Amino acid sequence: MDVFLQIFFDGLVMGAFYSLIALGYTMVYGIIKLLNFAHGDFYMLGAFIGYALLSFITGDGGLNAGLLGIGAVFIITMIIVGLAGIGVERIAYRPLLTAPRLSILITAIGVSLSLEYASMIGWGASYKVYPIKLSKNGLEIIGAQISFAQIGLIVLSALLMLGLRLFIEKTIYGKAMRAIALDQSACSLMGINVYRIISLTFFIGAFLAAGAGIMSGVYYGTINFMMGFIIGLKAFTAAVLGGIGNITGAMIGGLVLGLVESYGTYYLGGSWKDVLAFGILILFLVFKPTGILGAKEMERM
C-alpha cells in the first residue's frame, strides 16, 4: 500500500507540470484553433529567466534569497515570459490569423526553434544548475514519503489553476474569451476587441508555463535550452487526453498522464513510460478525438 501511495505522489508531481503547460495549449487552441508548438519553450524561457534573476539576487548581489525574494522572482519571471508570449503572438501569429491553419502551425514550429536556439546563444548549450537548494524534509503518510517541496509544488499549481478558473468564469475578460471561442466574428460585431483578448490568452498561457518552468528548475535543479521540447509534447498529449480546448480537461488530462506514466514505470518498467504516454495519445485520437471531457459540439474554454 505504501508503494502504491508513493507512486501516486510521484505521478501527481509530474501531472502538476503537465497540467500547467497543457492549459496554455488548450487555451490557445480554444481561441484561435492553433496548436502552439512553441508553448513548451515558454516553459524553458521561464526556467532560464528565473535562473538569471535568482543568480542575480543570490550570487552577484550578495543578498540571500529569502522566501520573499523567491516569490518576487517567481512573479517577475512569469510576467516577463507572459509579455514574451504577447510579443510572439503579435510578431509571428497575428499576421497569419486569417491564413490557412497549416501556415500558422509551421510558423509555430519556427518560433519554437527560434526560442530554443536564441536561449542556446544567450545562456550556452550546457546544463545550468539552479542556485537554490530545497530541503529534503517532508512528511510520511502511511509509509509513503512526500517532501515539503513536492507539497508546495502541487499546492502552487493547484492555486494557479484555481485562479485561472475563477478568472475565466468570473471576470469580464474571461467571459470575452469564452465568447471568442464560440464565435469570433460575432464577438467583434458586439464590440469586443478580439485581438486584445487573443493577446491576453497568450499572456496567460506563457505566464502559467513560465511558472511551471521556474518550479521545475527549483525542484529538479538543472535546466537546458531543450528542456521544453519533450515536456511540450507530453503536455500536448495531456491536452488532447482531456479534450483540447477544454480547460478543466487540460487539468485532468495532465494529472491522468502523470499517474499513468508513474504507475506504468513501476509495473511495466521505465522503458514503457513514453510508449504508454504516446500510445494513449494515439488511442484517444483514434477512438475518442474529443478527449475525456470533450463533447462533439462542446463549449470550448
Partner 1 sequence: MRKHSMIALGFVLVLSLFLSACSSKTGSGDNASGDEILVGVLLPVTGNNATDGKDMLNAMKMAVEKINSDGGVLKKKIKLEVADDGCDPQMATTAANKLVSKKVVAIVGGYCSGSTLPASGVFHNANIPMIVAAANSSELPKQGYDTLFLINGLVPDQAQSGADYFKDKGAKNIAIIHDNSAYAKDLADFAKKSVEENGGKTIAFEAINPEEKDFGSLMTKLKSLKPDGTYFTGYYAAGGLMLKQFKQKGVSGSFMVGDGSYSPDIIQIAGSEAANDLLVTATPTANFIPGAEEFVNNYKSKYNLSPGPFSALSYNGMNLLVDALKRADSTDQDKLKKALKETKAFEGIGQVIEFSDKNTLNQSNFHVMKVVGGEFTLEK
Rank residues 6 and 184 by Cβ distance to partner 1 and give the closer one: 6
- Which position among 64, 136, 140, 189 is part of the footprint of partner 1 (CB under 8 A)? 136
**DSSP secondary structure of 12-30:** HHHHHHHHHHHHHHHHHHH
Write out the binding residues for partner 1, residues 144-163 only, by CB under 8 A. 145, 147
Q: Positive or negative CA dihedral for 65, 17, 163, 92?
A: positive
- What would the x/- binding string for partner 1 be over residues 249 to 268, using CB under 8 A? ------------xxx-xx--
Which element (helix H / strand E) includes 139? strand 138-141
Pull the grid cell for residue 196: 486584445
Question: For residue 209, which amino acid is it?
Answer: A
Strand partners, 128: 223
Radius of gyration for the chain, computed over Cα atoms and rounded to the nearest angstrom: 19
State the minimum distance, in angstroms, from the CB of residue 265 to partner 1.
4
Rank residues 157 and 246 by Cβ distance to partner 1 and give the closer one: 157
Pull the grid cell for residue 56: 542575480
Q: Positive or negative CA dihedral for 86, 91, 92, 97?
A: positive
Rank residues 199 and 265 by Cβ distance to partner 1 and give the closer one: 265
- Which position among 66, 75, 76, 126 is part of the footprint of partner 1 (CB under 8 A)? 126
Rank residues 83 and 259 by Cβ distance to partner 1 and give the closer one: 259
Rank residues 140 and 297 by Cβ distance to partner 1 and give the closer one: 140
CB atoms within 10 A of CB 151: 15
Spatial separation of the C-alpha atoms in residues 91 and 84, rounded to whole Å: 10
Rank residues 165 and 273 by Cβ distance to partner 1 and give the closer one: 273
- Tell me which stretch binds partner 1 (CB under 8 A): 93-101, 129-137, 160-168, 199-207: 129-137
Count of positions on this chain that bind partner 1 (CB under 8 A) = 34
What is each CA distance from 123 to 70, 89, 127, 269, 274, in whole angstroms? 21, 24, 9, 35, 29
Write out the binding residues for partner 1, residues 202-231 only, by CB under 8 A. 216, 220-222, 224, 226-227, 229-231
Map grid coordinates 497540467 to a residue: 19
User: Does 112 engage in binding with partner 1 (CB under 8 A)?
Assistant: no
- Which position among 121, 271, 287, 297 is part of the footprint of partner 1 (CB under 8 A)? 271
Write out the binding residues for partner 1, residues 1-60 only, by CB under 8 A. 3, 6-7, 10-11, 13-14
Closest CA relative to residue 205, chosen from 299, 89, 52, 92: 89
Rank residues 27 and 223 by Cβ distance to partner 1 and give the closer one: 223
The vertex-22 CA angle with 17 and 24, nearest 5°, equals: 115
Binding site for partner 1 (CB under 8 A): 3, 6-7, 10-11, 13-14, 126-127, 129, 133, 136, 145, 147, 216, 220-222, 224, 226-227, 229-231, 261-263, 265-266, 269-271, 273-274
